[in-house]
Structure 1
């Protein structure tokens, strides 16, 4: 059965464009909305596998919907589309358990790739976002020498937008062990403890892995 999706955007052309594109790719668009309240009500009623939401909509923002989904343990995985490149918005998205975060100008190009990750319980964030955020996380060649082989494997998987549980499954280790490695990596690289820092660093430096 094809993946069930709700789409919400207050820009009619974007809403129609995404709906038509994903329908043509065989996805099951079970509902669409032009405002946040309607979108959230559809999610509660239909419980789609994925909700693709504009961050800034009337009545309820995409971030507020993501927060409500997390608070109420709804099974729907949220993908946000946005023009926002601010770090605090990105951080909030991570805190609210968002699975995908892509820029609007690349939405049609990236949405199918993003969905393919999300349906496998993997997070996907546009590479373009990393170039706007936390520029101090660029690597120096010798930084990678600080990491063990196990840590390098984990950083490579993080650069592929895999979650801790996804990494644990792939490497046949526990999530607790992955999280311990992540903490060690952050300390060795001198990154801050924000949830996004290691993900951004890994995406910026994936060509080195």
Structure 2
């Protein structure tokens, strides 16, 4: 794979473990850092496609790095790894257009699937985080009733981490048609046009679909 990746974590064992694992899988790791400021400088200099960041790091947190990337219109897609399940942190991640959010205890198990999903421009969020957050989102969103059967089918596929290409293949339609449906769904659900919004909504409301 040629997609460039940088990794930042202030825990040496975690940093080495992720780096070695991803190198063994053929991913293109072009740099690493042990604090947030160094990670941000690395992103600015190297312009990787993806940055995998621990949320809690010295000097700048992973969220602060994500915020700086958004503010300065950097194209690097951010994946956050964390032990934290707090809803506030998750909401901040959404606000900063974070593309991936996985728990550290499942990082080695999930990181490969997460990166592949993000490379295909599809956000990835740990099922464990989604399940935790669903406990505070138990009311069925009434906006679901605005969706057609075709749109509901697409939302279900999005909730199961299918890319637009996957959905096009599954439904025997073009990617352009899928993207048109996605735009209509976003409008009907009252979501913003951030790249991650529909995927997050679908993940959190998967049990209602």
Bin for the TM-score computed over the shorter chain: 0.7 to 0.9
Deviations 1:142-189 (A, max 9, x none): x978752123123213303468999797361555x53442453579xx
Partner SS state of residue 51, structure 2: strand
**Equivalent residue, structure 2, for 1:118:** 118
**Matched residue of 1:64: which SS?**
helix
- Contact 2:8 / 2:36 at 8 angstroms: preserved in 1? yes
The aligned residue for residue 133 of structure 1 is 133
Q: Deviations over 1:35-71 (max 9, x none)?
A: 0011100000000111000000000000010111111
Q: Within 1, Cα distance between the matches of 2:150 and 2:139?
A: 18
Aligned partner (choices 189, 199, 202) of residue 203 of structure 2 = 199
Alignment of 1:1-209 (within 5 A): 2-138=2-138, 147-161=147-161, 170=175, 172=177, 175=180, 178-185=182-189, 196-202=200-206, 204=207
1:110-131 deviation digits (Å, cap 9, x = unpaired): 0000000001111000001011
Q: CA deviation at 1:88?
A: 1.3
Q: Runs ≥4 in structure 1, deviation > 4 angstroms?
A: 143-147, 162-169, 193-198
Where do 5+ consecutive residues of structure 1 fail to align?
Answer: 188-192
Q: Secondary structure at the match of 1:32?
A: strand
User: Equivalents in 1 of 2:87, 2:198: separation in Å?
Assistant: 11
The answer on whether the counterparts of 1:6 and 1:51 sit within 8 Å (CA) in structure 2 is yes
Unmatched segments (≥5 aa) in structure 2 = 169-173, 192-196
User: Which whole-Å CA distance do the structure 1 matches of 2:75 and 2:165 have between them?
Assistant: 17
Task: Tell me, yes or no, if the aligned pair for 1:151 and 1:185 is still in contact at 8 Å.
Answer: no
Q: Give TM-score, length-normalised by structure 2.
A: 0.81
| Cα distance per residue 1:16-52 (max 9 Å; x no partner) | 0000000011111111111001110000000011100
Cα 1:132–1:121 shift into 2, 3 Å = same
For the aligned residue pairs, the C-alpha RMSD in angstroms reads 3.1
Whether the 8 Å contact between 2:164 and 2:175 is mirrored in structure 1 is no
Checking the alignment, whether the CA contact within 8 Å between 1:91 and 1:195 is kept in structure 2 is no
